[in-house]
């Protein structure tokens, strides 16, 4: 960062984690910007020296208390924030994966204000971060019409 602005994009990874029935999935309520208070998929930034899969397992464990196995890459997206002068405030390259639950007990941790098993049928009631509904559909779950 220079002057509070990033010098390059930062890799990030997030997971769609359904329960064994495929009727519910894990969502976290974001405690930090961007999109503080909105609901999204657990995950976060890749640290230097970590593989993307290691980072995803660590981030999910830190935010939710759950242990996962990473299944497959679903898609990738850029998240770019700009200030009023169009300066870049953040730039994440986000890789989205499907994952299987291995164990643990769901609880909010790290930068998650809340963590819940959300019925897929109730997803339209949650303010989802932009693009989350599309990623959930790519995992084979149907969240219904967006808010």
**Per-residue three-class SS string for 38-80:** CEECCEEECCCCCCHHHHHHHHHHHHHCEEEEEEEEEEEEEEE
Given this model, what pLDDT does residue 143 score?
Answer: 63
What digits encode the pLDDT tens for the residues 67-122? 999 999 999 999 999 988 888 999 999 999 999 999 999 999 978 999 999 999 99
Given this model, what pLDDT does residue 147 score?
Answer: 32
**CA pseudo-torsion sign 82, 5, 56, 111:** negative
- CB under 8 Å to 146, separation ≥6 — which residues? 124, 128, 133
What digits encode the pLDDT tens for the residues 29-70? 999 888 999 999 999 999 999 999 999 999 999 999 999 999
Given this model, what pLDDT does residue 84 score?
Answer: 86
DSSP code of residue 87: -
Can you tell me the distance from the alpha carbon of 77 to that of 137, in angstroms, rounded to the nearest whole number? 15
Q: Which residue has the higher pLDDT, 109 or 142?
A: 109
Given this model, what pLDDT does residue 146 score?
Answer: 39
81: preceding bond cis by omega (within 30 degrees): no
Can you tell me the distance from the alpha carbon of 82 to that of 131, in angstroms, rounded to the nearest whole number? 18
Given this model, what pLDDT does residue 2 score?
Answer: 62
How far CA 59 is from CA of 55, 85, 108, in Å, comes to 6, 32, 12
Is residue 129 pLDDT above 90, yes or no?
A: yes
Task: Report which secondary-structure segment, H or E, holds 99.
Answer: strand 88-104
């Amino acid at each position: 960062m220079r002057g509070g602005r990033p010098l390059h994009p930062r890799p990030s990874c997030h997971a769609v984690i359904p329960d064994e029935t495929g009727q519910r999935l894990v969502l976290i309520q974001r405690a930090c910007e961007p999109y503080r208070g909105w609901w999204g998929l657990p995950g976060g930034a890749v640290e230097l020296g970590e593989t993307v899969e290691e980072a995803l397992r660590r981030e999910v464990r830190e935010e939710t208390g759950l242990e996962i196995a990473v299944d497959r890459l679903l898609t990738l997206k850029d998240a770019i924030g700009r200030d009023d002068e169009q300066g870049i405030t953040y730039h994440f390259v986000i890789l989205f994966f499907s994952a299987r639950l291995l164990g643990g007990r769901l609880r909010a941790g790290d930068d998650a204000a809340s963590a819940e098993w959300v019925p897929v049928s109730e997803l339209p009631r949650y303010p989802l971060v932009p693009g989350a509904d599309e990623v959930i559909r790519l995992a084979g779950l149907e969240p219904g019409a967006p808010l």
